[in-house]
Amino acid sequence: MAIEALEVEGGWLPLARRISSPNFDQRPAGAEVELVVIHAISLPPNEFGGGYVERLFTNQLDYSLHPYFATLEGVRVSAHFYIERGGDLLQFVATQDRAWHAGVSQWCGRRACNDFSLGIELEGCDEMPFSEHQYKTLQTLIDELRRRMPTLTRDRFVGHSDIAPRRKTDPGPCFEWSRIDAAFRP
Protein backbone atom coordinates (compact mmCIF):
# COMPACT_ATOMS: atom_id res chain seq x y z
CA MET A 1 0.00 0.00 0.00
CA ALA A 2 1.68 3.13 -1.15
CA ILE A 3 1.77 6.11 1.12
CA GLU A 4 1.11 8.18 -2.01
CA ALA A 5 -2.56 7.18 -1.65
CA LEU A 6 -2.89 9.84 1.04
CA GLU A 7 -0.70 12.50 -0.51
CA VAL A 8 -3.58 14.07 -2.42
CA GLU A 9 -4.09 16.37 0.57
CA GLY A 10 -0.45 16.24 1.60
CA GLY A 11 -1.23 13.48 4.07
CA TRP A 12 -3.71 15.63 5.99
CA LEU A 13 -7.29 14.38 6.20
CA PRO A 14 -9.87 17.10 5.64
CA LEU A 15 -12.15 15.63 8.31
CA ALA A 16 -9.58 16.39 11.06
CA ARG A 17 -8.55 19.68 12.64
CA ARG A 18 -4.89 20.17 11.72
CA ILE A 19 -2.42 21.01 14.47
CA SER A 20 1.15 20.45 13.31
CA SER A 21 3.50 18.74 15.73
CA PRO A 22 7.26 19.18 15.45
CA ASN A 23 7.66 15.61 16.74
CA PHE A 24 7.93 13.63 13.54
CA ASP A 25 10.39 12.77 10.81
CA GLN A 26 10.43 11.05 7.45
CA ARG A 27 9.67 7.36 7.17
CA PRO A 28 12.54 5.19 5.91
CA ALA A 29 12.83 4.98 2.13
CA GLY A 30 10.28 2.56 0.72
CA ALA A 31 8.30 2.31 3.98
CA GLU A 32 4.57 1.82 3.56
CA VAL A 33 1.74 2.16 6.07
CA GLU A 34 0.93 -1.39 7.05
CA LEU A 35 -0.36 -1.01 10.61
CA VAL A 36 -2.62 1.22 12.71
CA VAL A 37 -1.83 1.43 16.42
CA ILE A 38 -4.59 2.48 18.81
CA HIS A 39 -3.49 4.20 22.01
CA ALA A 40 -5.07 5.83 25.04
CA ILE A 41 -3.72 8.93 26.74
CA SER A 42 -4.88 11.29 29.46
CA LEU A 43 -3.04 14.15 31.09
CA PRO A 44 -2.83 14.14 34.01
CA PRO A 45 -3.49 10.38 34.19
CA ASN A 46 -7.19 9.52 34.42
CA GLU A 47 -8.24 13.15 33.87
CA PHE A 48 -9.70 14.57 30.68
CA GLY A 49 -9.89 17.97 29.04
CA GLY A 50 -7.60 20.90 29.54
CA GLY A 51 -5.79 20.61 26.20
CA TYR A 52 -2.72 19.07 27.83
CA VAL A 53 -2.31 16.28 25.27
CA GLU A 54 -2.36 18.81 22.46
CA ARG A 55 0.28 20.84 24.28
CA LEU A 56 2.40 17.72 24.88
CA PHE A 57 2.30 16.81 21.19
CA THR A 58 3.31 20.36 20.21
CA ASN A 59 6.03 20.75 22.89
CA GLN A 60 4.06 23.50 24.64
CA LEU A 61 3.17 21.71 27.89
CA ASP A 62 3.89 23.75 31.01
CA TYR A 63 5.56 21.13 33.21
CA SER A 64 4.90 23.18 36.36
CA LEU A 65 1.10 22.86 36.11
CA HIS A 66 0.91 19.36 37.59
CA PRO A 67 3.42 17.12 39.41
CA TYR A 68 2.94 14.38 36.79
CA PHE A 69 3.86 16.76 33.99
CA ALA A 70 7.39 17.07 35.43
CA THR A 71 7.95 13.41 34.52
CA LEU A 72 7.33 14.32 30.87
CA GLU A 73 9.84 17.13 30.61
CA GLY A 74 12.01 16.62 27.55
CA VAL A 75 9.75 13.90 26.12
CA ARG A 76 9.03 14.37 22.43
CA VAL A 77 5.98 12.40 21.29
CA SER A 78 3.16 12.71 18.80
CA ALA A 79 0.53 10.70 17.00
CA HIS A 80 -1.04 11.08 13.61
CA PHE A 81 -4.54 11.38 15.07
CA TYR A 82 -6.10 12.20 18.44
CA ILE A 83 -9.77 11.74 19.31
CA GLU A 84 -11.01 13.79 22.25
CA ARG A 85 -13.78 12.62 24.62
CA GLY A 86 -16.37 14.70 22.77
CA GLY A 87 -15.40 13.10 19.46
CA ASP A 88 -13.33 15.92 17.98
CA LEU A 89 -10.63 14.60 15.63
CA LEU A 90 -7.24 16.30 15.56
CA GLN A 91 -4.34 15.45 13.26
CA PHE A 92 -0.79 16.26 14.34
CA VAL A 93 1.36 14.54 11.71
CA ALA A 94 0.80 13.94 8.00
CA THR A 95 0.15 10.30 7.22
CA GLN A 96 3.17 9.94 4.97
CA ASP A 97 5.45 11.04 7.83
CA ARG A 98 6.57 9.05 10.86
CA ALA A 99 4.91 10.16 14.09
CA TRP A 100 6.63 9.29 17.36
CA HIS A 101 3.90 7.24 19.06
CA ALA A 102 4.97 3.59 19.39
CA GLY A 103 8.40 3.80 21.00
CA VAL A 104 10.27 0.53 21.36
CA SER A 105 7.91 -1.85 19.59
CA GLN A 106 7.55 -4.96 17.48
CA TRP A 107 4.83 -6.42 15.26
CA CYS A 108 5.05 -9.74 13.43
CA GLY A 109 8.79 -9.85 14.03
CA ARG A 110 9.39 -6.31 12.74
CA ARG A 111 10.85 -3.73 15.08
CA ALA A 112 10.33 0.05 15.09
CA CYS A 113 6.60 0.16 14.37
CA ASN A 114 6.67 3.93 13.91
CA ASP A 115 8.37 3.26 10.56
CA PHE A 116 5.31 1.56 9.06
CA SER A 117 2.31 2.56 11.17
CA LEU A 118 -0.22 5.27 11.84
CA GLY A 119 -0.92 6.18 15.46
CA ILE A 120 -4.41 6.98 16.74
CA GLU A 121 -4.61 8.30 20.30
CA LEU A 122 -7.92 8.28 22.14
CA GLU A 123 -8.35 10.53 25.14
CA GLY A 124 -8.80 7.89 27.79
CA CYS A 125 -7.25 5.49 30.24
CA ASP A 126 -7.33 1.84 31.29
CA GLU A 127 -9.89 2.38 34.05
CA MET A 128 -12.76 4.14 32.25
CA PRO A 129 -14.87 3.41 29.16
CA PHE A 130 -14.37 5.50 26.06
CA SER A 131 -17.24 7.72 24.92
CA GLU A 132 -19.78 6.93 22.24
CA HIS A 133 -18.63 10.10 20.45
CA GLN A 134 -15.09 8.71 20.30
CA TYR A 135 -16.23 5.41 18.85
CA LYS A 136 -18.28 7.20 16.18
CA THR A 137 -15.31 9.37 15.20
CA LEU A 138 -13.01 6.35 15.25
CA GLN A 139 -15.42 4.52 12.92
CA THR A 140 -15.41 7.48 10.52
CA LEU A 141 -11.61 7.67 10.63
CA ILE A 142 -11.24 3.94 10.00
CA ASP A 143 -13.65 4.17 7.07
CA GLU A 144 -11.64 7.03 5.58
CA LEU A 145 -8.29 5.29 6.08
CA ARG A 146 -9.60 2.06 4.56
CA ARG A 147 -11.06 3.95 1.60
CA ARG A 148 -7.64 5.45 0.94
CA MET A 149 -5.62 2.36 1.89
CA PRO A 150 -7.71 -0.76 1.17
CA THR A 151 -4.99 -3.15 2.38
CA LEU A 152 -5.55 -2.00 5.98
CA THR A 153 -7.44 -5.11 7.03
CA ARG A 154 -8.82 -5.82 10.51
CA ASP A 155 -5.68 -7.71 11.58
CA ARG A 156 -3.64 -4.56 10.96
CA PHE A 157 -5.43 -2.59 13.70
CA VAL A 158 -3.73 -3.28 17.01
CA GLY A 159 -3.36 -1.80 20.46
CA HIS A 160 -0.21 -0.22 21.83
CA SER A 161 -0.14 -3.12 24.27
CA ASP A 162 0.08 -5.55 21.33
CA ILE A 163 3.29 -4.04 19.98
CA ALA A 164 4.91 -3.16 23.34
CA PRO A 165 3.40 -5.72 25.75
CA ARG A 166 5.92 -5.41 28.56
CA ARG A 167 5.84 -1.63 28.46
CA LYS A 168 2.31 -0.54 27.61
CA THR A 169 -1.27 -1.50 28.53
CA ASP A 170 -3.27 0.89 26.34
CA PRO A 171 -5.84 1.22 24.99
CA GLY A 172 -6.72 -0.94 27.99
CA PRO A 173 -9.45 -3.35 29.06
CA CYS A 174 -12.25 -0.79 28.66
CA PHE A 175 -11.62 -0.41 24.93
CA GLU A 176 -14.32 -2.19 22.93
CA TRP A 177 -12.49 -4.06 20.19
CA SER A 178 -15.87 -5.19 18.90
CA ARG A 179 -16.23 -1.62 17.57
CA ILE A 180 -13.19 -2.18 15.38
CA ASP A 181 -14.60 -5.53 14.25
CA ALA A 182 -17.88 -3.79 13.33
CA ALA A 183 -16.00 -1.31 11.16
CA PHE A 184 -14.99 -4.19 8.90
CA ARG A 185 -18.41 -5.78 8.49
CA PRO A 186 -20.12 -5.23 5.14
In the chain, where are the structural domains located?
3-41+76-183
Tell me the average pLDDT across 104-117: 97
**CA 37, 147, 16 angle in degrees (round to 5)?**
65
CA distance 71 to 63: 8
Residues with catalytic roles: 121
Domain 3-41+76-183 - what CATH class? alpha beta
Residue 186's pLDDT band, with cuts at 50, 70 and 90, is: confident
SS3 157: strand
CA gyration radius for the chain?
Answer: 15
What is the average pLDDT value for the chain, to the nearest integer? 94
**Per residue in 114-169, pLDDT tens?**
999 999 999 999 999 999 999 999 999 999 999 999 999 999 999 999 999 999 99
Q: Which of 3-7, 57-61, 179-183 has the highest mean pLDDT?
A: 57-61
What dihedral angle (degrees, nearest 10) is formed by the CA atoms of 95, 99, 102, 106?
Answer: 60
